[in-house]
Structure 1
Amino acid sequence: MNRLPVLVSPYGPYAALALHVHDLTIRGHHADTLVAADEAEAITLALGDHRTHRVSRLGRMYALRSLGRLDEALQIAEDLIEDQTRLGGPKATDAKIMADAAEVLINLGRIDDGLHYVARAMAVLDVAPRKGLRYFSAMASLAQAARCADLFELADDAMRRCIESFENPDDLYRSAAELTHIELWLEWALRLDQVGRTDEAANLVDKCVRVLENLNAQGIDSPLGTAVLAVCYAKSGRTAEAFDLVKDLLPKMRAADQSHETRLLHLANGVALRSTGEWVAARREFRAALQLSVLRSQKLLFQYELATTAVGEFPGEATQAVLEALGGHVEALWQLRMDRRTMLRQAYRRVELEAARLSADLAAASDALTGLGNRRMFDRRINTVMPGGSLLLIDVDHFKDINDRYSHGVGDRVLGEIAAVLRSHCRHDEVAIRFGGDEFAVFLSTGEDEAREVAERIRRVILARDWNTIVPGLTVTLSMGLADCLAGEPGRDLFDRADANLYSAKRSGRNQLAAAA
């Protein structure tokens, strides 16, 4: 069938569909995002574009998370993790999906599970390439997960690495990350202010102002940056400047349904109004911001501002008691940060130990010459083959003659080349094995017809390779025996059938595949 030419993309051949989904949720149009995701996922599934389908699902998850539909968002996150494990992909993509899942779990109150995913994402990113869009995106997700857990130091470091992953200071992604980083500093400052660490909070607010004013001087302007700057002006007593920014931007953000920027602008206006003694107007602004809040951490911030305003407007024991009770709750949550930092260190250590154990197991089950699995791995896998899977056994034809004529060094190079071909023909859930000598096995996750095609491709690749580049006059061919797993068949019987087919191929002249029942 003829296909339309499509630009190659790491996100799938029909990436524009998924990118539209992401663009909508970035702009805050979350209801529209869900409609676009329905269309994109239906089309990409019909076209068999699983990569773009996953990217669209990720955009759906972000929209659901922003709408507070966390249980639905978590289900998608867990599905994406399962897909990534099954289908494989870049390490940074693994880390991003785990960090996104961590954020949802933390917002659901499942802190242990969330921090475990944070630790796994950190471990993966420690060994991932540190440049490019995938690393940038994964680090941004890690920072957001850490931020939700009040692990501001980790979030700050992740955002710094995120920004450093782009060398070009004019890159749009980098500029967006810088604004997100500044917003993180503001949130950190607001939390510090609530627990009485006013000097640290003021230093962070001043830092935000310096950086934002510098960006404005460079001509870099954005609604988010302006909203954050308005809050910083209000918090630092520059009320006239805060009012000017709010007056100009707030109506536009309301009209555009930009709830995130609108919430920040209501906060700025409320703080500025309160500082001038306009208690009723300030309460109105904080309540408007509270109505736009989805997450518990957001709601708590504005509840605290409302309680503070009430004490100023109606001083007395009752309002003071409410503020003190709320302040005690805020302080207790802040102290939980220390527990979470300890929990994260423990989770990261468990991830390290698990990785070391898996590495040791892999080394024990790997062939030293080729890097394929060894007989130990074969023995593990042979009894796990299910109906719909197949076993392919391979011998190198006249391999003893190759060693005798050209040397064992040449023989080793031949085995290495064959191993590379077998590895390249294995999908994520398939395994290639070297028994020893010139004997190989491949566990395929397909039935006999497709397995025959895979085996024939391998045989033809080996036959067509120019072996003269290793040594003049060298030729290499393979004999193969294939058997597909029958329902209820023991592994030993499957091996015996594949082995009988292998010897049939040898008796029939070699350089061929036999797959008789």
Structure 2
Amino acid sequence: MNRLPVLVSPYGPYADLALHVHDLTIRGHHAETLLAADQAEAITLMLGDHRTHRVSRLGRMYALRSLGRLDEAMRIAEDLIEDQARLGGPKATDAKIMADAAEVLINLGRIDEGLHYAARAMAVLEVAPRKGLRYFSAMASLGQAARCAELFELADDAMRRCMESFENPDDLYRSAAELTHIELWLEWALRLEQVGRVEDAANLFDKCVAVLENLTDGGIDSPLGSAVLAVCYTKSGRTAEAFELVKIFLPKMREAGQSNETRLLHLAHGLVLRATGEWRAARREFRAALELSVLRSQRLLFQYELAITAVLEFPGEATQAVLESLRGHVEALWQLRLDRRTMLRQAYRRVELEAARATADLAAASDALTGLGNRRMFDRQMSTVTAGGSLLLIDVDHFKDINDRYSHGVGDRVLGEIAAILRSHCRHDEVAIRFGGDEFALFLATGEDEARKVAERIRRVILARDWNTIVPGLKVTLSMGLAACQVGEPGRDLYDRADAHLYSAKRSGRNQLAAA
């Protein structure tokens, strides 16, 4: 039967379902996102499309995070991390999920844990391929996590790398990242202004204006860019231009439910009104922005602007005391920000040490010739095997004859080829072992019926392989013994049963599988 060609997506064969979920949350329609995620996850589970299911779950997590339902978002993040460890995937995807978890943890106030996940994401991204959508997405997530921790320098660097991952400067994703980068600069500038670093803040406001005006001249029409530009105009004294943007975009964004853009436009409007002495109207705008704020850092920003407005409208000791108290709180948070930089460096160092130990452990448990696990790894796996799994023992038939007839070099090449085939038949949570000479083992995470199918596939692949490409006349076959682990069965007993089946296969003529 002929089939139409289908584009292969890294996000799964039914990627459009998950991309619709992401599109809704990107546009700020978070309640609709959750409904779409319900449908996408039900369909992808039914169809067995686990990759698309994970992508949809990620979109759900973003929506929950934006709605302030952080505990629910964190449960999804933990599930995604567990799935990624079990099912495997590209390094950049690992890093993205860890960075997203870091952001949720930081917003929950679990700073230590959040910075540890951020450090893990950083370490993975150091060795991940630095081009393409996966790296872009992971770096964007790391930048967002750093921004939530007010680690603006790290966020700035992450967003720069994010944009550099696309060679085409006109790429849509790159343009979106550039707008996010500018929004980061705005938040950084507002924080700098609060702690008295007015000149540094002014430089960043000017930088935002220059880049945004250039984007506008280049034909990029973005509500987010216009909202950020309106705030930066007010901070640069260009209140008339800011007001024009507010008039155009605030009603549209409010009607469309775009809370982020609406919040920024309310801020810009409040600043314009305050600049003209309309204190009460300015307070109304700042309160409107405050009501749209989900995160503590956002709320603090508008509380600060309200306090300044109160001092201007009702000068006196009471309002001044409130403002001074708020400034003290802001400065204390800024000091915490500096402490987090140290904490992140320490967390990154811990991650490096953990990786070094893991590498050393892996080397000690690896076979030098084939790269599979060695006898040490075999013993470790035997101590942890549980019901539901199976042990497959494998011997190369007449391997001594291969060495004697063709040389040990040829024998080593045969072992390397077999190891590669065994490795290719292992899932993420399964282990291939060479524990001596021509003896191999596979720890399979399946029951006997599925394990038989895996063993037979391996045997047929070995049998069909054209071994003449190594040396003319070479033939290689395998004998196999399989045993499925029973409830409460010790590893030693499982091994004895598999070994007995292996010898049964040899006595019955070799090149076959024997099982219970």
Give the match for residue 101 of structure 1: 101
Give, in whole Å, the separation in 1 of the partners of 2:4 and 2:426.
28
Q: Which residue of 1 aligns with 2:59?
A: 59
2:160 match: 160
Q: Are 2:185 and 1:193 aligned?
A: no
Q: Please show how residues 228-267 of structure 1 align to structure 2 within 5 Å.
A: 228-267=228-267
The residue type paired with residue 22 of structure 2 is H
Post-superposition Cα deviations, 1:33-87, rounded to whole Å, max 9, x if no partner, equal 0010111111111111111111111000000000001111011111111111111
CA shift digits 1:86-123 (9 cap, x unpaired)? 11111111110111011011011110010010001001
Q: CA deviation at 1:3?
A: 9.7
Gaps of 5+ in 2: none
Please give the secondary structure, in 1, of the residue aligned with 2:471. Answer: coil
Q: Closer, same or farther in 2 for the Cα pair 1:374/1:2, shift >3 Å?
A: farther
Letter in 1 for 2:116: H
Separation in structure 2 between the aligned mates of residue 146 and residue 387 of structure 1, nearest angstrom: 43
Identity among equivalent positions (%) equals 88
Aligned equivalents of 1:451 and 1:12: distance in 2?
A: 26
User: Does the CA contact (< 8 Å) of 1:478 and 1:511 recur in 2?
Assistant: yes
Cα deviation digits, residues 423-460 of structure 1 (max 9, x gap): 00000110000012111000001111110000000000
Other structure's SS at 2:383 match? helix
Could you say what secondary structure the match of 1:310 adopts? helix
8 Å contact kept, 1:6–1:14? no
Once the two structures are overlaid, the 10-residue window that deviates more, 34-43 or 272-281, is 272-281
Measure, in 1, the Cα distance between the counterparts of 2:422 and 2:188: 52
Whole-angstrom distance in 2 between the partners of 1:515 and 1:180:
59
Where 2:479 maps in the other structure, the secondary structure is strand
Structure 1's 200 and 59: CA in aligned 2 closer, same or farther, altered over 3 A?
same
Q: Does 1:8 align with 2:8?
A: yes
What per-residue deviation string (whole Å, max 9, x for no partner) do you get for residues 102-148 of structure 1? 10110111100100100010011111110110000000000000000
**Hey, what's the Cα distance between the residues in 2 that align with 1:255 and 1:342?**
43
Which runs of structure 2 are paired with 1:145-156 in the superposition (5 Å)? Answer: 145-156=145-156
Q: TM-score, normalised by structure 1?
A: 0.99
Task: Give the SS at the match of 1:384.
Answer: coil
What residue is the counterpart of 1:390 in the other structure?
A: 390
CA distance in 1 between partners of 2:221 and 2:21 (Å): 24
Aligned position for 1:123:
123
The answer for the alignment partner of 2:369 in structure 1 is: 369
Corresponding residue of 1:430: 430
Matched residue type, 1:104: V
* Separation (CA, whole Å) in 1 of partners of 2:450 and 2:107: 45
Deviation at 1:486, TM superposition (A): 1.1
Q: Distance in 1 between matches of 2:110 and 2:261?
A: 28
**For residues 20 and 489 of structure 1, what CA distance do their matches in structure 2 show?**
48
Q: Structure 1: where are the runs of 5+ without partners?
A: none
| Counterpart-to-counterpart distance in 1, 2:239 and 2:346 | 45
Residue in 2 aligned with 1:32?
32
Q: CA deviation at 1:221?
A: 1.7
Cross-structure match for 2:88: 88
d(CA) in 2 for partners of 1:435, 1:105: 43
Question: In structure 1, what residue type is equivalent to 2:250?
Answer: L
4+ long deviations beyond 3 Å = 1-7
Q: Superposed, which structure 2 residues align to 1:65-464 within 5 Å? A: 65-464=65-464
Structure 1 position 21, deviation (Å): 0.4
Cα distance, 1:7 vs structure 2 = 3.6
SS across alignment from 1:442: strand
Question: Is the contact made by 1:235 and 1:272 (CA closer than 8 Å) also made in structure 2?
Answer: no
Partner deviation per Cα, 1:477-502 (whole Å, 9 max, x = no partner): 00101011111111111111111111
Q: Deviations over 1:344-398 (max 9, x none)?
A: 1111111110100010000000000000000000000012111111000000011
Looking at structure 1, the residues matched to 489 and 61 of structure 2 have their Cα atoms a distance apart, in angstroms, of 42
Report the secondary structure of 1:277's partner residue: coil
| 2:465 aligned partner | 465
RMSD: 1.2
Within 1, Cα distance between the matches of 2:220 and 2:245?
16
Query: What is the SS of the residue equivalent to 1:297?
Result: helix
Q: Are residues 497 and 2 of structure 1, via their aligned partners in 2, closer, same or farther at CA, if it must alter by over 3 Å?
A: farther
Shift of 1:5: 7.2
**How many correspondences in the alignment?**
516
